[in-house]
Structure formats: C-alpha cells, structure tokens
C-alpha cells in the first residue's frame, strides 16, 4: 500500500450540523443512489474539494499563459487543410455535426 492509500484509508469523525430539510434531502438522494448518508456526504465533500482544486489549477495555469503569444500562434498563416479523414461527418438533414 502506498502512502497516498494509507492517508486515504484513515478516517476522522466530525459532528456535522445540517438543517433538517437538507439532511432529509441528502438522505433521500443517498437512498435513491443506493448509498448511505455517510457515503453520500463523503462523495459530496470529495467532489467539492476536487472542483475547487481544479479551479485553482486552471487559475494558476492561466496566470502563467502568454495571451499575445497564443493569439500570434492562432493567427499565423500557412499550414494545410485537414485531411478528409480528420473532418467530422455532417448530418445532411440538420447541416450540423452529430452529437
């Protein structure tokens, strides 16, 4: 077992105070999903932490970007048209790419 697995395997208890209506909604959602309330809350917290970390990652990456260089790259001349095999088929009835 690697260090990350050991860290994830440890658990902590936390007394969570939820409004009754939110607890009921979480219980109903967990039941419909076939999980326990605890599993649902763990998953919800993990999802939120992941979303925030992802937002931080992209904000950091955006700060390191060079907009002028990107625009120069996108507006350069030359290159070749895409090969036939690289194009999306067009749905003739709707004149758009299929979903």
What pLDDT sits at residue 96? 60
What pLDDT sits at residue 3? 56
Domain spans of the chain? 20-65
Q: Looking at the predicted structure, is the pLDDT value of residue 29 above 80?
A: yes
What pLDDT sits at residue 10? 79
Q: What is the pTM of this model?
A: 0.56
Q: Looking at the predicted structure, is the pLDDT value of residue 44 above 80?
A: yes
Q: Any residues with CB less than 8 A from the CB of 16 and at least 6 apart, and which?
A: 41
Which tens digits make up the pLDDT trace of 50-68? 999 999 999 999 888 898 9
For 73, half-sphere exposure in the C-beta direction (CA atoms, 13 angstrom radius) is 6
Contact of 96 with 90, CB cutoff 8 Å: yes
What pLDDT sits at residue 85? 84
């Amino acid at each position: 077992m690697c260090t990350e697995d050991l860290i994830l395997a440890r658990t902590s208890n936390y007394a969570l105070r939820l409004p009754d209506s939110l607890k009921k909604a979480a219980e109903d959602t967990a039941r419909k999903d076939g999980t326990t309330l605890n599993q649902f809350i763990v998953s919800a917290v993990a999802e939120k932490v992941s979303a925030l970390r992802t937002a931080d990652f992209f904000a950091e990456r955006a700060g390191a970007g060079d907009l002028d260089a990107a625009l120069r790259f996108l507006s350069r001349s030359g290159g070749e048209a895409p090969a036939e095999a690289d194009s999306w088929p067009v749905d003739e009835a709707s004149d758009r790419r299929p979903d």
